[in-house]
Structure 1
Amino acid sequence: MAVHLRIVALTVTTAEAEQTYRFDRPATVITGPIGTGKSSLLMLFKHALGGSAMLTPAVRDHVLSVQAEVVAGDERVVLRRTIEGDTADTVDLLDPHSLALERTLPLRASEGVTTLSDHLLDALGFPREQIAARREGAARPQNLTFNDLYAYAYLQAREIDRQVVGHLDSWFETKRRELFRLMFGLTDSALMELKRTRNQLLDTLKARTAEHDNVSSFLAASDPRSDDELRAELTQLRDSLERASSALASLRSELQEQTAADTAVRDELQNAIRAARQTEEEVSAAADLVEARHAVVAQVQLDLSRLARSVTAIDQLSPFEFVVCPRCMQSLADRVVEDGHCLVCLQPDPVEADIDPAAIEETRTALQQQLEEAQRIQQSDEAHLQTVQERSQQLSFAVTSLRRELDAQTRDAVAPRFDAIAEASSRVTSLKASIDAITQLRESWARVRTIDADIRS
């Protein structure tokens, strides 16, 4: 397909004036001496179309904006772009008739945003394609943009002197070829998709080949045995495992038959152990109870002793009149005390009923009865504790005797079989570990075969 792109007019705006240059005739020739602005005019075209133009200092100092009227395919487009400032990274799309602002298009691509390049390529009917390219040995698809296409419409004079359409720039070589093929219908989207797919497959092939080499090298270094040797050894190990498992089952069966004869002794031993444990718990509970009884008796005895000391103090001290403080030995003769109050502590004197001898005797009698009752219960609990301790000793002796009897019966028949069972179990475990190790190695070899099949595919 041929791409139709024509620049119709260019308007240059400065602070003092605005000048429009038209190019709507079949051909336009721009002539003039060096330094009159021929290249600057063409660079302003490129700037208006979103390209990175080499603007002279005179243009940057005096030109405010540039406006281009372009025919792209069947669409007439008017574009306006400032020379300096933040808005230089965007281009205004104007209505061709009223020159009213329709929308502002960014120059740099971002997710979900239509750029000026996208708009111009759509207007030209030119496909937005990604070409198959490689960078640093890996597939890196590149987008074809309007700026790449513009290289076929305009070259700087110095570039014309040395190359055509950037054919000396290695970085542009791939894009240059694909753009040429697209412009003249020598390729299409399906073929370009196949090229991108080929690049991806080359990357996958490279990665799988490296993986195949790495795994094969690791297996060769870690274990020199081949897959066939591992398969044969695995078969032998499984046969050995089957024989070892049969021998272990046989030993366990013999042990079960032998131990069945000792069931009665074992049951009796278990019952004796259970009864001994219960008796030990009873001994512990009885000891705690006796200790609590001791505490109760001691408390009642303490209460009786306190009562006796109180009565003695009242009897001994009531006849005396204190003339000095019994604590600090200061004189109490000049102390003013109300009638009916204690000269020492200044509290009201006790009423006769508070120190009734009959009440004191009644309290002493009650405490004495409590003491006798507590001592009687204590003696009963101590007797129970002694009985339980004796029964615990008897059961412990019975457990020891039954264990000796069971050991004597099983020493010659069971113990040797236990050793044989332990040895057979160890043999089975070792064989299983060896089988697991070989199985993992064979899985690695299977992975190598799968990778090799992927590479061939």
Structure 2
Amino acid sequence: MSGDLMPTETAAAMPPDNRHRLELIEVELVGGHPPILFRPGFNLIHGDQTTGKTTLVKLIRAMLGSMPKKLPPEVVEHVTAIRGRVYLGPAIWNVYRPRTTTADALVEVSEEEPAANREPVSLRLPVKGRTRSYSLFLLDQLGIPAIDVPKGSKTANGAADPVTMTDWLTYCIITGNEIDTELMGSGDNWQNNKRQWVFQLAYGLYDPAEAHQRARLRSLELQIAGFDQAAEVREKFLAETPFADRNVLQEHIAARRHELERVIAERSAIAQEVVAIPGVEEIRRTLLAARTRRADLADRVTRIRAQLQDLHDLHKQLSSQSARFTRAIVADEWLVDFDFLVCPRCGNDVVPARTEPDKCYLCLQHPRPAPSRADMLAEQDRIANQITETADVINNRSNALSTLESEVRNLDVTISEIARQLDRHTTAFVSDRANALEHSAAQQARLESEIRNFRTYAELLERHERDLENREELQEQLDAVKAQLKSRKLDLGEGEENIKALERRLLEYLRKLRPGGLGGQLTVSINRTTYEPIVSGRAFEELSSQGLTTLVNIAHALAHHTVAIDRNLPMPGLLILDGVSANAGHEGFDLDRVSDVYRLLSDVGKRYRGRLQIVAVDNEVDRSIILQYAKFSVLTLTQEKKLIRPDQSSNR
């Protein structure tokens, strides 16, 4: 098929809602490619090599999980985000995922068709987060448990690690670099560990309720270990002091407080003795009165200086006004009789002809009658009298200021003399009491320091006792959780039946794919430790060719999804296979096997339509196969029409 887009089929004929349904409806590379429309069931994306097929798979994975750190330069240059419409369970959601690798990048999701009498939900969620994230949102919408599992082995009780949407996508997106070499990322230890955890969760080998209990168990153990470590440090510290007993510590604090009160009373008594020296109290009162008088005079000096400043300003204003009157009398004109060429307010030109000759061309009113020369002379005399009166007031205030400043200087001399006199009266007494005062001050400082230290010990002791009580409570909770875990025996019967169903389905699909190079009878089993398939007695890594590995990988991934649907196991209902016929022509994978693969994928897509969406991504294969499955093609790429087309991308 040569076209790029196929209209998606309606959901009218879909089977009943599948809670785990994850189905692409539309995917747009914002800035790089117009929307690609997908259909329920089987979909085909094909084209030449190096045209962007694998890049599209990576970006679809990024829209649903984590963004790869390394992308082709053309993607980095042109693609700003991935926009999609997807089924999450029974509902359609719009997703806008920015092309950024930061954990706090915000993904926008909005509900397309909310239930009746309810506004559509619209959220902005960080990519990662323990309590609120895009990954947790997807898991919740798909009805998949979002839990933490131990790092490392399947039974470890150490640090916990969350199983994210990206981990579940390991079973949903088989990339071109692993489809013929490894099983769902088994070549990476960390990713392989997560693959095994997803298997246990999906097939009922790991109870989420037990997982929560074990997580709580680990949390309690860590808290108790923290209490024990802190308690050990405090016990060692308190053991080196004589105050490990609360009662003894309180007795020491009370004794130090009593002694401190005595020392403070002694110092107060010495201070009172100073007052009792003959003549000291009278000198102190005289000194206090002098300083009070001096402060009052300083305040009056400040006020008079401010008044003088105002009077000098007034004198200048009156003198200026008198000079103006003199000029007006000489010119025989009123002060305000001016002609204006422009408006003094807005700056526009003034036209005298804008009004009648007897009106002011500025305010459009009749001018007041101009005063006579005699009026102006009388006004000038009045101003001259004000100038004389102001000068007299300035002279009086200046004399008063000089008097006050002189009194202030005399008071400064008096205060200095009285202070020296007080020092002479008290120096001998202070010298006699210096040792006593110094000793009392040292005692007071020592006692206050000891009381602070004792209080610190008391706080440590109180915290230590409180932590011991809390530890006892945590220990009781820990014992209860251990008892619950001991009494809870995971029913492995159902999980074992699920695995057997997977073995039967994988054998069924492999028989349809007719792999060669195995010899003897075709058998299938699942390793109960690694959860990898064993085909005709061979472990996955022992398969003889890349063609055979590809067939087993396809059948294995497809079996997981169909068994999960049949047995209502949690598994996102999306399977993307990249490089379906990449090894066509190799040993055990000829053109007939390619035809078998396409037949199986289309048949399964038809049978599980609306519950499982399959997207096969492939190079150009035999023309007969392309023509046979042309109706399933949703995107064809060529060297002339590659995936990244910035000039044709949507600008929505």
The answer to which structure has the higher helix fraction is 1
Query: Please, what TM-score do these two structures have when normalized by structure 1?
Result: 0.42
Higher relative contact order (CA 8 A, sep 6+): 2
Query: Please, what TM-score do these two structures have when normalized by structure 2?
Result: 0.31
Larger radius of gyration: 1
